[in-house]
Amino acid sequence: MLTGGGGATARGQGADVSAARVVIAGGGIGGLAAAAFLSRAGLEVSVHEQTAEFREIGAGLVVAPNLVRLLRRLGLAARLADVGVRLEVGWEFRRWQDGRVLFAQQLERSAEMYGEDTWVVHRADLLELLRSAVPAEAVHLGQRATGVEQDDDGIRLQLADGTAVEGDAVIGADGIHSVLRGAVTTPGPPRYSGLCAWRSLVPADAAPELARRPAQTLWLGPGRHLVHYPVSSGRLVNLVAFTPAGDFDVESWESRGRVEDLAAEFAGWDPRLTDLVAGAGEVGRWALLDRDPIPTWTAGRLALLGDAAHPMVPFFAQGAGQAVEDAAALAVCLSDPGATVPEALARYQAVRAPRATRVQTASRGRQGSHHLPDGPEQQTRDAAFAGDDPLAHNEWLYSYDAEEAARTAR
Ligand SMILES: Cc1cc2nc3c(=O)[nH]c(=O)nc-3n(C[C@H](O)[C@H](O)[C@H](O)COP(=O)(O)OP(=O)(O)OC[C@H]3O[C@@H](n4cnc5c(N)ncnc54)[C@H](O)[C@@H]3O)c2cc1C
């Protein structure tokens, strides 16, 4: 059975894309952002998300200037300011043993250098912001995608209940374990990094003063590091720690860990950090996975987006940023009246794949340098931090305008 979603029919290969109907598998950050940008461009969209309800899972996310810029275009900047925390004090790297500051950057320079501030938010708040920019009737919960079928006239997203949704384009925004990825490239499991992430939200009144400041603080130590920053208008402190995972290989936003195991990982570190860990309530724990970059993201009327295309380890805090950049570029390409759907998607891939691959590769590269054992290499790294200006190094990342890049490519 085909469900057309409003009775729209898919159009032939030769038709231009500017009135296309776009079917999106996955209602995470990337899928909702795609729906928001495509709706804003006047295209008809539907989002098919496997979970039956949006729940408050996950924890904090850094919203870097390249992502803030795009949220502003969706009219969401004021609401971001309501739910997020602007990193006013800055970005600090500290030594594990005594909290000595290795490097500190005033992030007020972020706006001066890149035109936007850096914010931190709860993941659920970012999802809600994006959802508010999508017509409510476009979002369908409890619908799991299982595959696609396409021909010259259109494409059908198949659902687990045996129905299918017809459109002119399907976007696979179904995350790191994407089913639709198998229709674009050789299927295979993600790469296991050997690390796991622990996440918790600590009530601000149970956190040490150091962790309540509007700063993103990274504590570097042998084999592991821990990051914290305030979220939810400062009511909570988000803590995320990266440690060796041993034989733990569960990858799920909902997998749980034990506070005492997390505390044992950081035994002997600076007491301000161990105090913060002690205040943690519920702890999420999951294995960190990524994949090697792929050159091809599209097959005819199907395109991958976000983690389905380029899952990355979170050491540049850019997975969500790259997913939203994909979404913005996709809408520019798909609203070009001169192109067919496959041409528009090919253009999307041409503009997005080099950029996302660069971020994906750079993210993997950070694992080694953040986890050096104490010794000559660590001393060289720390000395470099002292004379460094990472914000200047990251100009390529934060100044980028995904819509502008897609328009230029067009
Ligand atoms: C520890 C950690 C810290 C991070 N920190 C940051 C950060 O600070 N800043 C940042 O920008 N990024 C960060 N990220 C990355 C970011 O969370 C992801 O890159 C981002 O969520 C990707 O969005 P997505 O929509 O592609 O995938 P997801 O958010 O995973 O969404 C995929 C959606 O598809 C649905 N789905 C899956 N399969 C199907 C199916 N078959 N049918 C229908 N629906 C389906 C899922 O239920 C889900 O809702 C972090 C990640 C981790 C693990």
- For residue 307, give the nearest of 50, 31, 52 by alpha carbon: 31
- Stronger pLDDT, 29 or 388, i.e. the higher one: 29
Model confidence at 18, pLDDT cuts 50, 70, 90, reads: low
* Token couple for 102: 């290795």
Mutate to test the pocket of ligand 1, among 47, 50, 53, 129 (most ligand atoms within 8 A of CB): 50
Q: What is the DSSP string of 204-221?
A: GGGS-HHHHSSEEEEEEE
Q: Which atom of ligand 1 is nearest to the CA of 143?
A: 43
- Selecting among 114, 229, 348, 398, the annotated active-site residue is 229
- For residue 234, give the nearest of 262, 204, 259 by alpha carbon: 204
What integer pLDDT is reported at residue 54 of this predicted model? 73
Whether 196 lines ligand 1, by a CB cut-off of 6 Å, is: no
Residue nearest to atom 21 of ligand 1 (CA): 320
* Token couple for 402: 């995904």
Contact 331, 41 (CB under 8 A): yes
398 is catalytic: no
What integer pLDDT is reported at residue 3 of this predicted model? 37
Start-to-end C-alpha separation, the chain: 37
Average pLDDT, the chain: 90
How many Cβ atoms sit within 10 Å of the Cβ of residue 304? Answer: 32
pLDDT in tens, 294-313: 999 999 999 999 999 999 99
Whether 49 lines ligand 1, by a CB cut-off of 6 Å, is: yes
pLDDT in tens, 82-135: 999 888 877 899 999 999 999 887 766 778 888 999 999 999 999 999 999 999
CA 114 to chain CA centroid, Å, is 20
Q: Which atom of ligand 1 is nearest to the CA of 179?
A: 41
Whether 327 lines ligand 1, by a CB cut-off of 6 Å, is: no
Q: Please, what are the domains in the chain?
A: 2-57+124-189+292-366+401-409 (3.50.50.60), 60-123+191-290 (3.30.9.30)
- For residue 212, give the nearest of 202, 220, 226 by alpha carbon: 202
Whether 257 lines ligand 1, by a CB cut-off of 6 Å, is: no
Residue 154's DSSP bridge partners are: 151
* Token couple for 108: 């007020």
Quick check: helix, strand or coil at residue 66?
Answer: helix
pLDDT in tens, 169-207: 999 999 999 999 999 998 889 998 899 999 999 999 999
Residue 99: burial class (beta carbons within 10 Å; 0-12, 13-18, 19+): middle
CA-based Rg of the chain, rounded to a whole angstrom? Answer: 21
Question: Rounded to whole angstroms, how far apart are CA atoms 129 and 262?
Answer: 31
Whether 179 lines ligand 1, by a CB cut-off of 6 Å, is: yes
Q: How far is CA 136 from CA 3, 22, 52, in A?
A: 18, 16, 15
Quick check: helix, strand or coil at residue 325?
Answer: helix
Q: Which atom of ligand 1 is nearest to the CA of 306?
A: 26
How many Cβ atoms sit within 10 Å of the Cβ of residue 391? Answer: 21
Whether 172 lines ligand 1, by a CB cut-off of 6 Å, is: no
Mutate to test the pocket of ligand 1, among 24, 48, 49 (most ligand atoms within 8 A of CB): 49
Whether 314 lines ligand 1, by a CB cut-off of 6 Å, is: yes
Mutate to test the pocket of ligand 1, among 23, 29, 289, 366 (most ligand atoms within 8 A of CB): 29
Ligand 1 centre distance from Cα of residue 155 (Å): 25
Model confidence at 59, pLDDT cuts 50, 70, 90, reads: confident
Whether 166 lines ligand 1, by a CB cut-off of 6 Å, is: no
What integer pLDDT is reported at residue 246 of this predicted model? 79
Ligand 1 centre distance from Cα of residue 284 (Å): 15
